[in-house]
Amino acid sequence: FDFAKSLKSETVTRINNYYAYQLTRHYDIDPVIIIVNTLNNQEINPLAADLFSRWQIGKSTRGKKGLLLLVGVSEQRLRIETGYDLEHIFTDLFVARTERELLNEFFEQGIWDIAFLSFLENLSHLVETKAEKGEDVAPITSPSVLADSHYSGGAGAVTTFDFGAAMN
């Protein structure tokens, strides 16, 4: 969902028709990218958790296997939110490293299309590697006491950072 119109149409098509399709079809993962012009003076971490629950990211999976990348363009902030049943794959360490070392590099250079494609390629590669090693990438571990509206615990990396001079 590129509300800021920051990506080329070919990139959006590739994200939807290849990466999102593959992650959903083969691994039962619901990846969502939301790019907004502004966060409207809201802190990105609670906003991402709220969007994750309100949009019910992961509801279409056999568990709570949603993944959200939220980007606020004018605030130059981003947040990756992971559903309960993906926390064993996309750990806090992996998410923090992805934010700092992968996305930050591309955003600082102003190459957004490559940033998002690399992000999804990185996620896909991790899942495929774990599956090839025989690890179960599809277990359902959501606490049964959770209400249906809670798809993420709001945990994860709490890193936000400036995208850099490329945005100015």
What pLDDT, in 10s, does the model give residues 104-133? Answer: 888 888 899 999 999 999 888 888 888 888
Q: With a cut of 70, say whether residue 144 has pLDDT above it.
A: no
Q: Residue 146: its pLDDT value, please?
A: 44
Confidence of residue 137 (pLDDT cuts 50, 70, 90): low
Q: Using one digit for the tens of pLDDT, what is the confidence trace for 4-56?
A: 999 999 999 999 998 888 888 888 889 999 999 999 999 999 999 999 989 98
Q: Using one digit for the tens of pLDDT, what is the confidence trace for 62-80?
A: 878 899 999 999 888 899 9
Q: Which residue did the predictor score with more confidence, 162 or 34?
A: 34
Q: Residue 158: its pLDDT value, please?
A: 42
Instruction: Please give the Cα distance from 5 to 83 (Å, whole number).
Output: 26
String of DSSP letters for the chain: -BTT--S-HHHHHHIIIIIIHHHHHHH--EEEEEEES--TT--HHHHHHHHHHHTTTTTTSSSS-EEEEEEETTTTEEEEEE-GGGTTTS-HHHHHHIIIIIIHHHHHHT-HHHHHHHHHHHHHHHHHHHHHTT--S------TTS-TT----S-S--------GGG-
Q: With a cut of 80, say whether residue 151 has pLDDT above it.
A: no
CA atoms within 13 A on the CB side of 157: 20
Q: Residue 164: its pLDDT value, please?
A: 55
Q: Residue 37: its pLDDT value, please?
A: 94
Q: Residue 145: its pLDDT value, please?
A: 40
pTM of this structure? 0.80
Q: Residue 5: its pLDDT value, please?
A: 94
21-43 exposure pattern, b = at least 16 Cβ within 10 A, e = fewer: ebbeeebbbbbbbbbbeebeeee
CA 60, 144, 53, 96 torsion-angle sign: negative
Q: CA-CA distances (angstroms) from residue 62 to 1, 30, 59?
A: 23, 10, 8
